[in-house]
Amino acid sequence: MNSSEEIAVSARSAGRSALRMGPAELVQAAAMARRFYLEGKSKIQIAEEFGVSRFKVARVLETALERDLVRIEIRVPAELDAERSDALRAHFGLRHAVVVESPAEGADESPDPENLGEVAADLLGELVAEGDVLGLAWGRSTIHMAAALDRLPPCTVVQLTGVYDAGTAERGSVEAVRRAAQVSGGEAHPIYAPMLLPDPATAAALRHQTGIARAFDYFDKVTVACVSIGSWEPGISTVHDMLSDEERAHYASLGVAAEMSAHLFDTQGRRVGRDLGERCITVEADRLRRIPEVVAIAGGPRKAEAIGAVLRSGLVTSLVTDTAAADLLLTAAPGPRPALERADPDD
């Protein structure tokens, strides 16, 4: 029995409708319900025990629910919103969507609350299997996630992007990769290089350096990836903050609404400003699209539009977000291609 589900079976009448059943029927219904819901027996096993058909067992169990002899309660931790999670998953065609309660105060000013990282860490503990290759992209939320990791099957961990600032590598994504590898007991393949370089030639030269090339060799082997999403505004996108005023204006004129791992997207999920990628140390979008499970961590109302844009790109399969962002996402159009199709909106 899942610890998050509590099933209560009672043999007493719980309403007027139950009074219409005789005592023998009540006792039998309660006994069958107990076998099925609490002991995990199949309808065939119950039928054999009571000497009836499995169809009668099914009818008795249905009656027990209708007449309130069986009460089923689905309980999840208070910080998780199961209803919004399921609605968001269905709305965007995601494999997994986990919605966390927004902070009581400061939700509007604090994108990616730290508790998103904690929940994402638990989710990775579920999704990653022994022998997988876990990819981590740069981002505050992925750094918080790595810090919160306390369980992870043995796996290889590879960095998917350069860092915001090479001078802070020990406190950023390099340390996140090391932390995840330490928890899992697997190999770590960090990237000691900035995410954004002055020109394509410098970026190309760095990609051929031994350590960075070794990490890039693992990109096609990644089975689970964890990424962050940024809105195209100061303090919400690290790439935005790394560019000059002229460059920001140029990409804004192209309609950029979101950034993920140095890839830019308009509101419909189409990639724009592809030339930026030539200057970046990052996993290519086509490689991201081939990764079986890509988990995005992003929250806050200021990021809602950006999250929606990235979900429409088809690059992400799962999302960890908060109620503030989820409420806005649920009112937005999901786009013609659900995320699970992994289709390219530009095709």
User: Could you tell me where the DSSP H helices lie in the chain?
Assistant: 23-33, 43-50, 54-66, 82-92, 114-127, 140-148, 173-184, 200-207, 210-217, 238-242, 245-253, 285-290, 304-312, 323-329
Does this model's pTM top 0.85? My answer is: no
Q: Quick one: what percent of the chain has pLDDT higher than 90?
A: 56
Architecture in CATH of 23-67: Orthogonal Bundle (1.10)
**Residues 80-134: pLDDT tens digits?**
888 899 999 999 999 999 999 887 655 455 566 778 988 999 999 999 999 999 9
Kindly list the domain boundaries of the chain, sorted by start residue.
Answer: 23-67, 80-331
* Residues contacting residue 118 through CB under 8 Å, at least 6 positions apart: 144, 145, 148
pLDDT above 50 for 159: yes
**Predicted local distance difference test score (pLDDT) of residue 265:** 95
Q: How far apart are CA 291 and CA 296, in angstroms?
A: 13
**Residues 72-86: pLDDT tens digits?**
766 656 578 888 999
H or E element that contains 272: strand 271-272
Across the chain, what does the average pLDDT equal? 85
CA 251 to chain centre: 28
Banded pLDDT at 6 (limits 50, 70, 90): very low
**Residues 272-318: pLDDT tens digits?**
999 998 999 999 999 999 999 999 999 999 999 999 999 999 999 99
Domain covering 80-331 in this structure, CATH number: 3.40.50.1360
- Higher-confidence position of 172 and 268: 268
* Residues contacting residue 235 through CB under 8 Å, at least 6 positions apart: 241
Backbone angles phi, psi at 318, to 5 degrees: -140, 155
Banded pLDDT at 12 (limits 50, 70, 90): very low
Q: Quick one: what percent of the chain has pLDDT higher than 70?
A: 86
pLDDT above 70 for 13: no
**Most confident option among 97-106, 167-176, 259-268:** 259-268
Banded pLDDT at 69 (limits 50, 70, 90): confident
Three-state DSSP state, 81 = coil
**Residues 237-257: pLDDT tens digits?**
878 888 888 998 999 999 999
**Residues 188-204: pLDDT tens digits?**
999 998 889 999 999 99
**Residues 325-338: pLDDT tens digits?**
999 999 988 766 77
Tokens at residue 290, please?
A: 């081939």
